Every structure is written in structure tokens, then in C-alpha cells.
Amino acid sequence: MAILKSRSKREGHRFIGVVVAPWVFEYITLYALAYGTKKSVLYKELMEDWVSKGRIRNTDDVMLRELVDRIKESIPDGMGLKEYKESIYKELNSNGLKESYINLVLSEIV
């Protein structure tokens, strides 16, 4: 546990940092100033709308299948299965994928 890290105001929420092109930043800044809103609110609304629409076509099951297929295609030569699975576990875990999804993905790699 980090001692000096500030706690989120919203329990269970995660921070996503994003770098955008200057023209995107300028437009969002102008919009936020013109309409009296915060840029963070705009980003949040855009992300939530995108995820809501995307979930219709790209369900979690569909994306997990895609992920498993990508992983199976990228097995490096000379690496043992156990070592490869450990490497995949670390990468998925460090990217914040929940444990149940990681276990499901690993169970598909044989």
C-alpha cells in the first residue's frame, strides 16, 4: 500500500491518463470555457458513452476471445508454457485486468 498516495474521492474508480493532439486539447478547452464545464467531465462523458455503445458489439466475452487469440499467436519460440503464462499474468495484471479475466485467459492457453 502506498503511504503518500492520495486516495480517490470515488471508491473503486480508476484514473486514466490520456495524451491528445493539440487541436483536440484546444477544442475541448474552448468548449469547457464556453459552456462552463470541466474538461474532466467532458472526457468522462465521452468515455462512458463510447463504452456503452461499444459493449453492444464488443461484449466482454468477445474481447476476451480476441485477447486469447492474440496471445496464442504471439508465443515466443523457445519459451516454456509455464514461463509464458507467468509472463502473460504479469502483463495482464499490471494493465489492471481483473483477476477472474486473467484466470480465464490463462486457462485457454494450453
The Cα–Cα gap between 45 and 31 comes to: 14
What is residue 14's DSSP assignment?
Answer: -
Check pLDDT > 70 for residue 6. Answer: no
Assign 88 to helix, strand or coil: helix
| Residue 56: predicted pLDDT | 84
| 5-33 mean pLDDT | 84
Does the pTM of the predicted model rise above 0.75? no
Residue-level pLDDT at 110: 82
What is the Cα Rg of the chain in Å? 19
Sign for the CA dihedral angle at 53, 59, 64, 69 comes to: negative
CA distance 4 to 6: 6
Instruction: Give the pLDDT of residue 1.
Output: 52
Q: State yes or no: pLDDT of 2 exceeds 60.
A: no
Number of neighbours of residue 105 by Cβ within 10 angstroms: 19
14: which 3 cell numbers? 480508476
Q: What is the pLDDT of residues 43-102, one digit of tens each?
A: 999 999 999 988 888 899 999 999 999 998 888 888 888 999 999 999 999 999 999 999
Q: What dihedral do alpha carbons 71, 72, 74, 79 form, nearest 10°?
A: 110
